[in-house]
Amino acid sequence: MKDDIATLWGGGLDPSSGKTLQQQLHTKIRTAILDGKLVDGARLPASRTLANRLGVARITVTQAYDQLIAEGYLETRTGAGTFVVAGSPDQLFQTNIKYVSRQESAPTNHRHILLSGMPALDQFPTANWARTTSRAMRKLNTDMMYHNDVMGYAPLRRNIADYLQASRSAVCDASQIMVVSGLQQGLFLLANAALKPDAPIILEDPGYDGMLASATATGHPIRYTGVDDHGALPPEQAGGMLVTSPSRQYPLGHTMPHSRRLEILAWARTTGSLIFEDDYDSEFRYSGRPLNSLQGIDEGERVIYGGTFSKSLFPALRLGYLVVPKPLIERIQKFRSAIDSFPSITGQIALNAFMEDGEFTRHIRRLRIVHAKRKNLFTNFAHTQLRRFLDFQPSDAGLHLLAYMTDDMVKAGIEDKQLAELAQTAGIGAVPVSNTYQFAPKQQGLLMGFANLADEKIEDAVKKFSSAIYKVLNTTTN
């Protein structure tokens, strides 16, 4: 441990900065960890020592430490002190670790498509949901029936703000939370409210086709920025809005390191652009440290944070949220009140009751365990049965796996679209990776959902898929 810790983050605290000393200290320590200045396992000074060094009250230091412990950056070891949690950025950002992800848009036809981004819907606590919903509905009063705040139901927004502050280090208060029907609606509202008519929407390539659909619907020009092992590259365009998924790039799964986050934020500042941070399934990380949101680093000036309950509860709930920078709130309210108002108060009060009762956090904790187990089961069977056809990429998070097609398959002339259909017929949610590319050279592979397959069905589904591939290969070779 470097003894002179106060020098690590370049300068002391500033009482006139408009932020509390505790907030400043918290930010400085977190940044030092993310930048690698405070390395894995490093011991922090005793709170009394650091307080003396900085000339602040001891409680300022202990509260900053407590928050960082709650966020998973620090841990205490009894009798030994406070340490940086192992699971360094270097480990998390290794280029061969690829995360995979979701498919959110509703298909417009009525064919039953098994999408790859589904959580374990069989684990949803229906009885508890019905109970809390029923209690909420019995309290439905005329004020709620008459509710007319396009931002959403105030108690729910407070719960969401608390959740985001605690779990995603978001810098926000409840007044900035807008309850939306999903992230595609979020993007659509934002683009209409915040962008000049000719300002571009810049998407990741490869990227999520749901966001492309929404961006196209706005009528704004669409541009693309490439993706490397650190996630989205800072765009060449000036102005407009970049849509990015820094927690886990969709579809490639890279986590954006702190250095790239700073580059992207610098791009936004110098070009006068906005960033829409799509944090679609950040609840499901199976190892390592939670990464702080881009919105939290930026402190909410140029970044609009978006999240959804589609993954943590179920997709047809159609509820998500934006954290809107304060200068944009009035404009987005105006546009939204013209075209949609707000999602039904009934779903909002039901979800609020579910959160108030602690059911929401209990369910997420339970899902993490179930999903981790299914991921392991699926990975094991897939490695045995599918190795010849698919090259599974390691993953520490999310609801699906990315697997590239092997050279053998490519040589046999099989396309990932065909493969996705075979997987779906076998009962496995699957999306062809090639669908996610626009101009970048297309990869062939699958995004395969493991989370919504009951434990006992995984082996059978993988075997069926494997047999189906063999059958096609034989037909092709004959």
- Token pair 């693309």 in the structure block, residue: 224
* Cβ neighbours of 266 (radius 10 Å): 11
Residue (253 or 306) nearer to a copy of itself, CB? 306
- Write the binding mask 257 to 296 for a copy of itself: x where contact by CB under 8 A, - elsewhere: ----------------------------------------
**Residue 274 has which token pair?**
């906005």
- The least CB distance from residue 345 to a copy of itself, in Å, is 4
Q: Compute the least distance from the CB of residue 169 to a copy of itself, in Å.
A: 28
Which range, of 3-11, 160-168, 210-218, 232-240, touches a copy of itself by CB under 8 A? 210-218
Structure tokens at 163: 């959740």
Looking at residues 83 to 142 of the shown chain, list those that interact with a copy of itself (rule: CB under 8 A).
Answer: 105-108, 110, 113, 118, 121-122, 124, 126-127, 129-131, 133-134, 137-138, 140-142
Q: Give, rounded to a whole angstrom, the gap between the first and last alpha carbons of the chain.
A: 66
Please list every residue from 32 through 91 that binds a copy of itself, using CB under 8 A: none
Closer CB to a copy of itself, 80 or 145, in the complex: 145
From residue 155 to residue 174, the character string flagging contacts with a copy of itself as x (rule: CB under 8 A) and all else as - is --------------------
Cβ-based nearer residue to a copy of itself, 50 or 447: 447
Is residue 352 part of the contact set for a copy of itself (CB under 8 A)?
A: no
Minimum CB separation of residue 185 from a copy of itself in Å reads 5
Nearest to 41 by CA among 83, 92, 89: 83
Closer residue to a copy of itself in complex, CB, 264/461 = 461
Binding to a copy of itself in span 392-451, by CB under 8 A:
none
**By the rule CB under 8 A, 347 interacts with a copy of itself:** yes
**394: preceding bond cis by omega (within 30 degrees):** no
Query: Which of residues 184 and 293 has its CB atom nearest to a copy of itself in the complex?
Result: 184
Residue 181 in contact with a copy of itself, rule: CB under 8 A: yes
CB of 340 to a copy of itself, least distance (A): 5
CB 469 → a copy of itself: shortest distance, Å?
Answer: 26
Contact status: 8 vs a copy of itself (CB under 8 A): no
Using CB under 8 A, which of 22, 88, 184, 312 touches a copy of itself? 184
- Annotate each residue in 304-343 with x if it binds a copy of itself (CB under 8 A) or - if it does not, as one string: ----------xxxxxx----------x--xxx-xxxxxxx
> Between residues 230 and 374, which has the closer beta carbon with respect to a copy of itself?
374
Strand 241-244 vs strand 274-278: parallel, antiparallel, or unpaired? parallel
Least CB distance from residue 357 to a copy of itself, whole Å? Answer: 14
CB of 254 to a copy of itself, least distance (A): 26
Q: Among 188, 208, 284, 404, which residue sits at the site for a copy of itself (rule: CB under 8 A)?
A: 188
Instruction: Give the total of residues touching a copy of itself (CB under 8 A).
Output: 63
Specify the residue, 104 or 204, whose C-beta has the smaller distance to a copy of itself: 104
Select from 39-47, 147-155, 279-287, 468-476 the region that touches a copy of itself (CB under 8 A): 147-155
Instruction: Give the chain as a 3 state SS string.
Output: CCCCHHHCCCCCCCCCCCCCHHHHHHHHHHHHHHCCCCCCCCEECCHHHHHHHHCCCHHHHHHHHHHHHHCCCEEEECCCEEEECCCCHHHHCCCCCCCCCCCCCCCCCCCCCCCCCCCCHHHCCHHHHHHHHHHHHHCCCHHHHCCCCCCCCHHHHHHHHHHHHHHHCCCCCHHHEEEECCHHHHHHHHHHHHCCCCCCEEEEECCCHHHHHHHHHHCCCEEEEEEECCEECCCCCCCCEEEECCCCCCCCCCCCCHHHHHHHHHHHHHHCCEEEEECCCCCCECCCCCCCCHHHHHCCCCEEEEEECCCCCCHHHCCEEEECCHHHHHHHHHHHHHHCCCCCHHHHHHHHHHHHCCHHHHHHHHHHHHHHHHHHHHHHHHHHHCCCCEEECCCCECCEEEEEECHHHHHCCCCHHHHHHHHHHCCCCEEEHHHHCCCCCCCCEEEEECCCCCHHHHHHHHHHHHHHHHHHHHHHHC
Does residue number 455 form part of the binding site for a copy of itself (CB under 8 A)? no
Shortest distance in whole angstroms from residue 220 CB to a copy of itself: 12
Which residues touch 286 (CB under 8 Å, ≥6 apart)? 368, 371, 372, 375, 396, 397
The amino acid that residue 153 corresponds to is: Y
- Output the smallest distance, CB 369 to a copy of itself, in A: 19
Instruction: State the residues that interact with a copy of itself by CB under 8 A.
Output: 105-108, 110, 113, 118, 121-122, 124, 126-127, 129-131, 133-134, 137-138, 140-142, 144-150, 181-182, 184-185, 188, 192, 210, 213-214, 216-217, 219, 314-319, 330, 333-335, 337-347, 350
